Chain A
Amino acid sequence: EAQVTQNPRYLITVTGKKLTVTCSQNMNHEYMSWYRQDPGLGLRQIYYSMNVEVTDKGDVPEGYKVSRKEKRNFPLILESPSPNQTSLYFCASRSGKGAQYFGPGTRLLVL
């Protein structure tokens, strides 16, 4: 089954404690991206990757890092989380200009 998976689905952490949210897709898509979703703001792109070892900032990259060492994986790293990063995070992948497929989401609470 074609899918995008994310882990963990729910996470509570404290300010400053580094965390990583994993994302994996099994569709051999070149393009992957991370979004955060906040009430009234819709989806905002954090980072994206055009292919292995190619990443770039989206609209709200501050406080986040990513890496793309393999085509299927695109982890999101919060080196020092802060409360304003409490949000719902979605990973997505896309092949060419086709439709974008989303993961199930990771709900993060930073205390």
Chain B
Amino acid sequence: AQSVSQHNHHVILSEAASLELGCNYSYGGTVNLFWYVQYPGQHLQLLLKYFSGDPLVKGIKGFEAEFIKSKFSFNLRKPSVQWSDTAEYFCAVGMDSSYKLIFGSGTRLLVRP
């Protein structure tokens, strides 16, 4: 069965540190890839998405992600985190022509001031 793995469940960083959150999926066909962010007490918001073309995708708030097809990965990065980036981050994958998105279990990021 298709699955999405986020290996880091909890990440704690200090402000200005660099961030990389891992996301791997198990599917050999065409994929659409997404990262969502959920700030405390709020709903999920789209950070960035990849459909095709340049595998390095830039999103909002300085986030970017790189699609590496050979590794089935779509890792999220930010060069310098801020306290306001404290949130839970979800990777999601859409496969071939399916409308369904499969979500990872999420990574809770805490940024210390």
Contact = CB atoms under 8 A, between A and B. Distances in A.
A40 B90 CA distance: 12
Given A100-B34, A103-B43, A45 B106 contact: no
Interface in B25-64: 32, 34, 36, 42-46, 49, 51
B90 A43 contact: yes
Interface residues of A, number: 23
Interface of A is mostly: strand
A48 B46 contact: no
A42 B92 CA distance: 11
Nearest to B34: A99
B105 A41 contact: yes
Interface string A47-82: 010100000001000000000000000000000000
Nearest to A41: B105
A94 B43 contact: no
A90 B43 contact: yes
B6 to A, nearest CB: 8
Nearest to A44: B103
A104 B44 CA distance: 8
A31 interface: yes
B105 A99 contact: no
Contact of B43 (A33, A50, A105): A105
Q: What are the nearest 10 A-B pairs in CB distance?
A: A42-B105, A31-B99, A43-B103, A102-B44, A102-B43, A42-B106, A99-B46, A104-B43, A105-B43, A42-B103
